[in-house]
Structures are given as C-alpha cells and as structure tokens.
Amino acid sequence: MAAITALLIVAIAASAAMYMLSQQSALLGQVVLVTARAQADLYARAGIDWARGVVSADGKGSGGFDSLGEAWAQPIAALPVERALVAGSLADEQGKFNLNNLVGADKKVSANDEKIARRLFASLGVPEELVPAIVDWIDADSDLYTTAGAEDAYYLGLSRPYRAANQPMVQVEELHRIRGFDPKVVARLKPFVTALPVRTAVNVNTASAEVIAAIAPDLPTEEIRRFVDTRTASPLKSIQQISERWKALPLSAVGNDLDVKTSYFLARVQVSQDDVQVASEALIERKANNPGVAAIIWRRPVY
C-alpha cells in the first residue's frame, strides 16, 4: 500500500512539474514577445529621433529651399540594427494643402483658402460642398458657416454624440469626425491635405500637381506637369524664382500660398525584430527662424 501511494505521489509530482514547466514556457514566450516589442519600440523612437536629426542637419545646410533631390527625401529601406531591421522615410507635410488655413489667426474664414480647397476637392472628385463643414469644425463659433456646414447641433444629434472641435485640427484624421467625410472620401483626400498647427504655404518643390493647380488655376496644366517632372534635378530655389517662372501667378500667392521651403515633415519608421513589427510616425517642426533646430510636435504608433 505504501509503495502504491509513493508511486502515486511521484506520478502527481511529475505531472505537476510538467504542467508548471509548460506554464513557465508559455510565460517565457510571452516575456520574450514583450521584450522584443519593447526593444522594437525603442528602436522606433531612436529612428524618429534620427529623422529629427536629419531634418535639423538639412536646415543647417539647405540654402533656403527644400526639394526632393536632398538627402532628407531619400528613404532608408532596411538598416540592420543588432537583431532588428529599421526602415524609415521623411515626407514634406507642406507638399499638401493645410486644412487649418481655412480659418485665419483673426478667426475669420480665409476666402482665398476656401477657393483653393474647393478647387482641390473638385479636381479629386470630392464634393466641394464638404468644405464648409471643415470650416465649422475649425472655427470657434457654433453658427453654421453655410447651409452645408455642421456645428454642435448636428454632432450632438448623432447616435454617439460629440461636439465640434471649434479649434484647428491637430491631426488630419479628425476628418473622420466631420459631417460628410466617409472613409472613402478621407482616403481620397489624405495624400493631398494635412493639418498643421500654424498657417502654411505649399512647397512647390514637393507638392503634387493637383495641389499646385488648386492654388494656381491660371497656370497651364502642362506647365505644372513639366515642372513636377523636372523639379528633383532643378528645383525652384527662392520665391523670386517662382514669380520669374510663373508670371501668370498673382503676386499675393507667392510666398503666402506657394513657397520653396518647408517647416513641417512627417517621419515614418518601421522596425521588425523576430516576429514583432512596430511602426511609428511623428510630425517634426523645423523652426523657420532657427532652421538648425527641429522638434517633435506629436508621435504616434501606426497599426
């Protein structure tokens, strides 16, 4: 009897040990994954910081203009860092139309920017009647800008109610919350529009032909195409060069709506390590009056 009990105890102990081992190995697997994730996240942070360094280095030596031929515009495909692969790229956010331009610092609607936005939307096949809804989302008041606008009264009536921001958009994804902007419309617009903290001009050296055409409707489309096709090798280097090349352009647009340099870049970093992939993006501002200094405005994970 004693022998049988002893055998039983050994068997239970053995199976308990097996059970504990398998639990431990599952836990160990989780720890490995969490560690790899944390490490990949650190690499992503380091990558964004490195991008900030690239922007500031460019500011020290760019000679007053920014173009796609410069070092910052060259993506890094896959840089091995210890066990990880790090890839990254920088894009000029001032190659896009800044939706926050629609409402000026004086809190009034900018009629000129509204026209630009309407032309841009129309050229992309997006109803231009969606523009007043953005104006109302941004402007401080709760009065409808036009009958096509939308303020609290509309948003509070939704099945999951919220209020209009009534302040400049922080990220362009806020479009999803604005009346009339379904995922299809937002996806169509996103390559061409942005949301930056201050009024910005569009950099002709990086903007798409659609954005330039929306700002300068009097320029022949072929001329804009020709410029876009050749600008990497021969960018415009000053606002004087913009006026010289495009005499049809109203002087008020040069420097105010169109420029040759930028202060806002979007950095994207992807890290893959073991089975873990982490992506992160950040908006980087380079100080216009101190181009050697670059700061991160926001940083977020990308899923």
Interacting residues with Ca ion (CB under 5 A) = 136, 139, 141, 143, 145, 164, 166
Q: Locate tokens 């650190």: which residue?
A: 42
User: Among 176, 182, 174, 245, which residue's Cα sits nearest to residue 216?
Assistant: 245
> For 180, left (φ over 0), alpha (ψ -120 to 50), or beta?
left
CB of 169 to Ca ion, least distance (A): 12
Rounded to whole angstroms, the Cα distance separating 239 from 243 reads: 7
Rounded to whole angstroms, the Cα distance separating 282 from 46 reads: 12
CB of 140 to Ca ion, least distance (A): 6
Compare residues 181 and 265 and give the one whose CB is closer to Ca ion. Answer: 181
CB of 303 to Ca ion, least distance (A): 30
Q: Which two tokens stand for residue 100?
A: 């926050």
Compare residues 167 and 240 and give the one whose CB is closer to Ca ion. Answer: 167
According to DSSP H, which parts of the chain are helical?
2-61, 111-123, 131-138, 152-155, 183-189, 209-215, 221-230, 239-245
Q: Locate tokens 């992309």: which residue?
A: 124
Compare residues 106 and 143 and give the one whose CB is closer to Ca ion. Answer: 143
Compare residues 132 and 291 and give the one whose CB is closer to Ca ion. Answer: 132
DSSP 8-class letter at 265: E
CB of 168 to Ca ion, least distance (A): 11
CB of 148 to Ca ion, least distance (A): 12
Compare residues 110 and 166 and give the one whose CB is closer to Ca ion. Answer: 166
CB of 101 to Ca ion, least distance (A): 16
Q: Which two tokens stand for residue 154?
A: 């509309």
CB of 138 to Ca ion, least distance (A): 7
Contacts of 95 (CB under 8 A, 6+ apart): 202, 203, 206, 207, 208, 211, 262
Other Cβ atoms less than 10 A from the Cβ of 253: the count is 19
Contacts of 15 (CB under 8 A, 6+ apart): none
Compare residues 56 and 101 and give the one whose CB is closer to Ca ion. Answer: 101
Compare residues 149 and 291 and give the one whose CB is closer to Ca ion. Answer: 149
Q: CA triplet 293, 64, 105: central angle to 5 degrees?
A: 70
